[in-house]
Chain A
Amino acid sequence: MPAPKRSPGGTRARLLFGDLWEFDPAPETADPKLKARYDLFIDGKFVRPRSGRHFDSINPANERKLAEIALAGPADVDAAYRAAGRAFGPWAATPGRERGKYLFRIARLLQDRAREFAVAETMDGGKPIRESRDFDVPMAAAHFFYHAGWADKLEYVAPGRTAAPLGVVGQVIPWNFPLLMLAWKLAPALAMGNCVVLKPAETTSITALKLAEILQDAGLPPGVVNFVTGAGETGALVMGHPGAAKVAFTGSTEVGKAIMRQLAGTDRKMTMELGGKAANIVFDDAPIDQAVEGIVDGIFFNQGHVCCAGSRLLVHEPVAEQVISRLKNRIRVLRVGDPLDKNTDLGAINSRAQLATIRRLVASGVREGAVMFQPPCKLPERGFYFPPTLFTNVTLSHRIAREEIFGPVLSILTFRTVDEAIEKANNTPYGLSAGVWTDKGSRILRMSTELKAGVVWANTFNRFDPSSPFGGYKESGFGREGGRQGLLDYATFA
């Protein structure tokens, strides 16, 4: 990528790190060991879909085909549920001590093949290799390891009650953290003794099917975990199947509501992890440099394809000018491009459809009167890319301040008082996460108390851990993932 030109009209020369030289390409070259064609994983085996149909999974970085993925129809989903139903009795009866060992094995085998999985994840989804290597894959392994240890300690999960598994759980996950979301869903369900039918997102099925190889290597009994691939129609079959004792969904609020309506006539248990429009609030006493890093991490992590992204920056008026100017400098040096390059900060947008959504919402921002800033940057000619984007002069009624964009687009609003910050932050139907930047401890605790969000990051952003419950308030969903609290959602109590 050529160095961006410094503005010639500037009154004084400004040195921007990375401005004076070009980076050599530093591609990650580990072999992702992809198959040309992936079938369904049912009853411990890879099986051809009864539909006889496959669809292409492409690399969003260059639009090249990576592999063919099986399209699961009603008969396939049914076969997966039957296999899971058969496996459930013996699996639930397996002592927790032994069940846990399978999960420990999965964690270890995933660590063994971490680089291979990271490359596969980046090629399939478009995220920078730095993130898949340092975040997605190690965190997925950590989730299996953490939950493995719970399997023989379930009597401590709910004081005074005896926890028991629910049965077969149907799960549908999104394309933004394909392997990590899969680990979030599988690990607690299995530790509790449930069996699973899971559908990955249609654009990012590959790492799930690679994980199926690990499940085989780990000797996990057939049918305990089944993967059916496909798009929304397959997802609706997984969510609606009468064999499911519970469904867990991560995705958009719109689809979450549709699932709730679809299942209104049943007594199915549900967990919903839906959209967000998080406020990241910067006070005038905040450490500004750290806050700017946190804002960048909050919105540009994974190209902004993050349900808990800090997509609304609320900045205290006394420091607004300073924060915005430093933020503009900072994003001038973000490197957008080849996701497999180890220096890349922003990789590819996951799909053509998502790129169109981002473009549509950005255009609405311009049309509604917000002021757009994009640093000069040359995007690769093939593939789906979008430059880091800031909007100033945003008001609460703008679509870009209300709707989830799910892209590298930050809407900036200002506030004068603490009460105004709280009011603006909570003025959304969502409630997944929020950020607060201030040096004052009592203010952090007050904000954390008043913000209607399931996760509050104070002087940090986008932190995750298997031991730390994650999930939303309001239209961001219900149920938690992670920690003891997350296990409760996969159990019934006597």
Chain B
Amino acid sequence: MTPRAAGRIPITKTPKVYIGGAFVRSESSRTFKISAADGAFFANIPQCTRKDLRNAVEAAAKAGPGWAKRAPYNRAQILYRLAEMLEARSAEIVGSLVRFGAKSQDAAKGTSICVDRLIHYAGWADKYEQLLGSVNPVASRHFSFTVTEPMGVVGVIAPDSPPLLGLLSMVAPVIASGNTVVALASEKFPYPAILLGEMLATSDLPGGVVNILTGLRRELVPTFATHAHLRAIYASAEGDDRRALRLGAAASVKRVRFAAERGMGWFADSAQGLDAIRGFVEFKTTWHPIGS
């Protein structure tokens, strides 16, 4: 609980998940308790179900076409705006990381990298196309060109460490190209992701573009794996989770990518860039005859 000021009982926040631009509890009304690093009770966190996940996919699917049609310049500005929201609340973010055991130095560094990473991808939004697409010098009298398109709704499964930087580093490249996201926050440290939801809500990002669930991995991974409307999965996962995700993906030929970064690896510049964007776009080639 928040430390008590003299003579006043503080108001504690009810953590809610962010689905379709609204803050909601799990449809099941289930919660799980989390405690601060010192062991004190902190809050009850929504324990989302596969129904919550399906609702989130529906919200993401609804938001998808509109988000994909936004001008890249507009998506860039919205990502930049999100960075502004994070910067303004960075003290609160650092506090939330330290409360659950992060060293204050790492928390401060991680939080500023979160902001910088958002700006990195904001800048990419109107540039990756010229690097990934192409005009193809075909031998016949045709104009042939290749452009990228977003895949659709992408399921993101975030690492436990670092809970916020990992989540943001996975979500940002996916939405920069016009995909929408259903993300599962770290099971161990879900609170920073709940804070992120509050910042998303005030960042001009249309509701439904990013949806953040909290809950237990073992309950939700099977539905992430098999939900046919999730066109791709981007997961920080190991062993049995990887296998389950790949097995489920086979049913609808879903694209699966696993994050290579671990722990402090997320802090490096190499954890960001064009490669992550390329992982969640489709290449489309169009041909047209050239008149003689």
Residues of chain A whose beta carbon lies under 8 Å from any beta carbon of chain B: 142, 158-161, 253, 256-258, 260-261, 263-265, 267, 272, 274, 429, 444, 448-449, 453-460, 463, 465, 467-471, 473-478, 480, 483-485, 488, 493
> Of the candidates B136, B140, B288, which one forms a contact with A469 in the assembled complex, judged by CB atoms under 8 Å apart?
B136
Determine the chain B residues whose CB is within 8 A of the CB of A274 once the complex forms.
253
Can you list 17 A-B pairs, Cβ within 8 angstroms, ordered by A?
Answer: A142-B139, A158-B275, A159-B131, A253-B253, A257-B253, A260-B253, A264-B243, A264-B247, A267-B242, A429-B252, A453-B284, A456-B285, A469-B134, A474-B252, A483-B146, A485-B132, A485-B146
CB of B135, distance to nearest CB on chain A (Å): 9
The residue that B287 contacts in the complex, of A258, A429, A458, A478, with Cβ under 8 A, is A458
Q: CA of A478 to CA of B139 in the docked complex: distance in angstroms?
A: 25
A158 to B286, CA, bound (A): 22
Distance A30 CA – B26 CA, assembled complex (angstroms) = 72
Q: B58 to chain A: closest CB distance in Å?
A: 18
B121 to chain A, nearest CB (A): 15
Identify which of B144, B246, B284, B288 contacts A465 (C-beta below 8 A). Answer: B144
Please tell me if the beta carbons of A448 and B138 are within 8 angstroms of each other in the complex.
Answer: no
A260, A455, A458: the one contacting B246 at CB < 8 Å is A260
Cβ-defined partner of A467 (8 Å) among B137, B231, B250, B275: B137
Digit string of B86-100 for contact with A (CB within 8 Å is 1, else 0)? 000000000000000
B138 in contact with A465 (CB, 8 Å): yes
Residue from the list A160, A459, A477, A478 in contact with B289, Cβ < 8 A: A459
> A178 to chain B: closest CB distance in Å?
22
By DSSP majority rule, is chain A's interface helix, strand, loop, or mixed? Answer: mixed
**How many Å lie between the Cα of A470 and that of B282 in the bound state?**
11
B residues near A469, Cβ cutoff 8 Å: 134, 136, 146, 283, 285
Contact yes or no, A468 B231, CB < 8 A: no
A413 to chain B, nearest CB (A): 23
- Decide if B286 touches A448 in the complex (CB within 8 Å): yes
In the complex, chain A residues whose CB is within 8 Å of the CB of B134: 469, 483-485
Contact of B142 (CB < 8 Å), options: A463, A470, A483: A463
Taken together as a complex, chains A and B put the C-alpha atoms of A458 and B145 apart, in Å, by: 12
B138 & A467 in contact (Cβ 8 Å cutoff): yes
Q: Are the C-beta atoms of A455 and B287 separated by less than 8 Å?
A: yes
Contact A468 B243 (CB under 8 A): no
- Nearest-CB distance from B28 to chain A (Å)? 29
Neighbouring B residues of A448 by C-beta, 8 Å:
284, 286
**Cα distance, A474 to B228, chains bound together (Å):** 10
Residues of B in contact with A, size category: 35 or more
The complex places the Cα of A478 from the Cα of B254 at a distance, in Å, of 9
Cβ-defined contact, B288 with A459, below 8 A: yes
Contact A444 B288 (CB under 8 A): yes
Task: Say how far B70's CB is from chain A's closest CB, in angstroms.
Answer: 14
How far apart are the CA atoms of A386 and B255 in the complex, in Å? 37
Report the minimal beta-carbon distance from B278 to chain A, rounded to whole angstroms. Answer: 7
Residue of B nearest to A263 (CB): B246
- Say yes or no: B282 contacts A483, CB within 8 Å: no
State the B residues within 8 Å of A (CB).
131-132, 134, 136-140, 142, 144, 146, 149, 231, 242-243, 246-247, 249-253, 255, 258, 273-275, 278, 282-289
B248, closest chain A residue (CB):
A264
Cβ of B273: which chain A residues have Cβ within 8 Å of it? 160-161
**In the complex with contacts A264-B247, A460-B289, A463-B138, A454-B284 CB distance below 8 A:** yes
B246 near A463 (CB under 8 angstroms)? no
Closest to B288 in A: A458
A485 to chain B, nearest CB (A): 5
Does B275 contact A493, Cβ atoms closer than 8 Å? Answer: yes
Q: Which residue of B lies closest to A253 (CB)?
A: B253
- In the complex where A456-B285, A465-B144, A480-B283 touch, is A264 in contact with B274 (Cβ < 8 A)? no
For residue B144, which residue of chain A has the nearest CB? A468
Distance in angstroms between the alpha carbons of A474 and B254 in the assembled complex: 7
Please indicate which of the listed interface residues B243, B273, B285 has the most CB atoms of chain A within 10 Å of its own CB.
Answer: B285
CA–CA, A465 and B136, complex, Å: 9
- The 3 A-B pairs with the shortest beta carbon distances in the complex, nearest first, are A260-B250, A465-B138, A264-B246
Closest to A268 in B: B246
> Are the C-beta atoms of B250 and A454 separated by less than 8 Å?
no
Return B133 CB to nearest CB of chain A, in Å: 9
B287 to chain A, nearest CB (A): 5
With A465-B136, A483-B134: A261-B283 Cβ-Cβ less than 8 Å: no
CB nearest neighbor in B for A461:
B287
Is the CB–CB distance between A474 and B253 below 8 Å?
A: yes
Q: Are B253 and A463 in contact (CB under 8 A)?
A: no
Judge whether B249 and A260 touch: CB under 8 Å. yes
Report the bound CA distance from A21 to B161 in whole Å. Answer: 79
Chain A contacts of B131 at CB under 8 A?
A: 159
Residues from chain A with Cβ under 8 Å of B253 in the complex: 253, 256-257, 260, 272, 274, 474-478
Per a CB cutoff under 8 Å, which of B243, B249, B274, B289 touches A265?
B243
CB distance from B281 to the nearest CB of A (A): 10
- Whether A471 touches B283, Cβ cut-off 8 Å, given contacts A463-B138, A465-B144, A483-B136, is yes
Cβ contact of A460, chosen from B146, B231, B274, B287, cutoff 8 A: B287
Could you say which residues of chain A place their CB within 8 Å of the CB of B142? 460, 463
- What residues on A are CB-neighbors of B144 within 8 Å? 463, 465, 467-468
Task: Please state if B255 and A478 are interface contacts (CB–CB under 8 Å).
Answer: yes
User: Is B282 a contact partner of A454 (Cβ separation < 8 A)?
Assistant: yes
CA–CA, A253 to B253, complex, Å?
Answer: 8
- Given contacts A257-B251, A455-B287, A456-B284, list 6 more A-B pairs with CB under 8 A: A159-B131, A256-B253, A465-B139, A467-B138, A468-B138, A477-B253
A277 → B minimal CB distance (Å) = 14
Contact of B136 with A468 in the complex, beta carbons under 8 Å: yes
Q: Which of B132, B138, B231, B243 has the most CB of A within 10 A?
A: B138
Residues of A within 8 A of B278 (CB): 488
